[in-house]
Amino acid sequence: MKRKIYLKMHSLAEARNLFLDRFLGLRTGEEEISSREADGRVTSRPVIARFSAPSYHAAAMDGLAVRAADTFGAADDRPRSLRLDAGQAVPVNTGHPLPEGKNAVVMIEHVLLRDGDREAVLRAPIHPWQNVRKVGEDIVATELLFPTHHRVRPADIGALLTAGCPRVWVRKRPKVVIFPTGSELIPGDDLAAPPAPGAIIEANSGVLAALVARAGGEATVAPIIADDYETIKTHLLAAAASDTDLVVINAGSSAGSADYTVRLIEELGEVLVHGVTIMPGKPTILGAIAGKPVIGNPGYPVSALISCEQFIQPLLARLQGMEQDEPRKISAVLGKSLPSAGGIEEFRRMITGRIADQFVCVPLKKGAGAITTVTRANTILRIPAASEGQAKGEQVDLELLRPLDQISRTILCTGSHDLCLDLIHDFLRQGDPAYPMASTHVGSMGGIMAIRDGMTHIAGSHLLDPASGGYNISYLRQYLADRQVALITLVYREQGFMIPAGNPKGIRDIRDLARNDLTFINRQAGSGTRVLLDYELDRAGISPEVIRGYDNEEYTHMSVAVAVLSGKADAGLGVMAAARALGLDFIPVTEERYDLIIPRELLALPGIQRLLEVINTAAFKERVEKMGGYSTRETGREVNVDS
């Protein structure tokens, strides 16, 4: 079938209004359920209290129930005595019914008992109904307890039961059927090995089903459907004729020759929107079949998620008579300039932490297929369609993806990549409280610049000084001369060439990189590994221009290892632990020192103190050594930067 070019693109606001207004007034049915199981459900009828609470006058304190008038006139110099044995005062405990004829409770600590506890002496009066919970003080029978379309919370369950409402009428959960489509998709539940080239594990339906559940819906995930027009059509017709409230087709929403979704919705119903000016999520399709909402959800993971958040979840809220909650927001300083294509509203996942008296945020890598940007992010930045980006140092508004106190405790680590940083993060999350550590990998020099600009708590660095053979100190003197910083050794580590298992091309040392039959994968400019490579090339008298792939860059040791494992490159410089993790061979080049740079004014922060404690523990050092290629002989030692 020929390609289907996008229809007129709509802005996010236009698309949402078109879609939601098309189903205005559409609601799910109702059902009566136990109030004990009503948490998160939405009432479909007003809830009227059957009982008052309390249903009797009850003591609010431990003490003596009395007639308030019997205490009038009591004072220190004119105490009043009430007889317990004559019924003038009656002992009561908190919550007990008030005895007949009594209208107040004297707290027991304000009573002097005499004559074998038969006489109570009072030195102060008490007013009527003091220390008493009167009938209906909390709930009055016949009053409105909750209106229609109220989302029930845990405390509300207590009110329902107390008011004599053991059952409640609620909106039925919206039923959503999710169709994963694509001939390249395979189930991933029982795979014993990675999928073959061209095959993709179907994971989007798991994300979408969880988001549907969070919005109060019930998702049914259909078996994977291959890219076949008639097969998909059959499934869509069956779904439209069922009691499903919403149909979601995942993938096939773009403009490729095998993307059938828009044609099918056109044939069977109507297309309201095809293409939204957001990134990721542009190919979203919004339509209807037999009066039932249908959404063509993009196939890339992040696109699928954003499309769900912006269209599926708001619709599910509407179907239950609710509106989607507005996200909480904070203001933060942007740590890196973010250019953006004009005319497209861009959603960027961010890492945010508090430094001094302000929040600082840095972007994670972009890409509709980069699901890890979603798992790692704690905030999101929305760049308006009218903007061409945001500049470093600007104040930006962020939507929270994590609790604010967790974001406030997040330790920002910017600079060189090392596998030990993931271990630190894991140890920090085990503490009470937990201190998440978020690492962004911009190279050692990028980390030093972030320290200079006050955009990070710590920076990882392993910059070799070719003149002295030392690490980091000369760079601190050059770029951070006006900052007081601590240089803490994290590890010594083996750097060398990662090559395919078995060394099929017979690589021996750095001189082999100049061969015409080898392709190299490099680290980015400014990284310590790049500095080390250039140093070793200079020592060997090899010009970078003769190395195939010298300009092909990756940002982490694991990315370099993956490039070698996949056959993209024959060799790359990195740490032994990365090579071992992926079963690659390793040719040692040198041992280097990897340090953490920490501004001295941040050393006293609880999170930084906890980090320093962690790296000095035997448990941390043991796990580091087990990765291979690491030495912890000076871990935690502060390096003298003045000598």
Q: What is the pLDDT of residues 388-423, one digit of tens each?
A: 889 999 999 999 999 999 999 999 999 998 999 999
Examine the domain organization and report whether 592 and 516 are in the same domain: yes
For residue 201, name the pLDDT band (cuts at 50, 70, 90): very high
For residue 254, name the pLDDT band (cuts at 50, 70, 90): low
Examine the domain organization and report whether 602 and 535 are in the same domain: yes
Q: Which of 319, 349, 367 is the last residue of a domain?
A: 319
Pairing of strands 63-66, 104-107: antiparallel
Report which of residues 56 and 642 the model is more confident about.
Answer: 56
Whole-number pLDDT of residue 2: 44
Report which of residues 20 and 196 the model is more confident about.
Answer: 20
| 337 inside domain | yes
Q: Which of 319, 343, 369 is the last residue of a domain?
A: 319
Examine the domain organization and report whether 205 and 79 are in the same domain: no
For residue 572, name the pLDDT band (cuts at 50, 70, 90): very high
| 268 inside domain | yes
| 512 inside domain | yes
- The tokens describing 439, both together, are 């690492």
- Segment 478-502 shows an average pLDDT of 95
Examine the domain organization and report whether 630 and 529 are in the same domain: yes
Examine the domain organization and report whether 450 and 528 are in the same domain: yes
CATH of residue 481 = 3.40.190.10
For residue 144, name the pLDDT band (cuts at 50, 70, 90): very high
* Domain tally, the chain: 5
- The tokens describing 580, both together, are 């071992």
Asked if residue 5 has pLDDT above 60, the reply is no
Examine the domain organization and report whether 403 and 378 are in the same domain: yes
CATH of residue 241 = 3.40.980.10
Examine the domain organization and report whether 474 and 555 are in the same domain: yes
Whole-number pLDDT of residue 7: 53
Examine the domain organization and report whether 455 and 596 are in the same domain: yes
| 270 inside domain | yes
Q: Is the dihedral of CA 21, 22, 23, 24 positive or negative?
A: positive
Q: Give the structural domain span for 76.
A: 58-133
Examine the domain organization and report whether 530 and 397 are in the same domain: no
For residue 1, name the pLDDT band (cuts at 50, 70, 90): very low
The percent of residues above 70 in pLDDT, for the chain, comes to 97
CATH of residue 38 = 3.90.105.10
Cβ density class 118-143: b for 16+ within 10 Å, e for less:
ebbebeebbeebbbbbebeeebeeee
| 1 inside domain | no
| 430 inside domain | no
Examine the domain organization and report whether 452 and 303 are in the same domain: no
- Segment 208-221 shows an average pLDDT of 96
Cβ density class 279-300: b for 16+ within 10 Å, e for less:
bbbbbbbbbbbeebbbbbbbbb
Q: Exposed (0-12), middle (13-18) or buried (19+): which is 315, by Cβ within 10 Å? A: buried
- Computed on alpha carbons and rounded to an integer, the radius of gyration of the chain in Å comes to 34
Examine the domain organization and report whether 235 and 346 are in the same domain: no
| 523 inside domain | yes
* pLDDT digits 0-9 by tens, 171-196: 999 999 999 999 999 998 888 888 88
Examine the domain organization and report whether 304 and 345 are in the same domain: no
| 530 inside domain | yes
pTM, full prediction: 0.84
CATH of residue 71 = 2.170.190.11
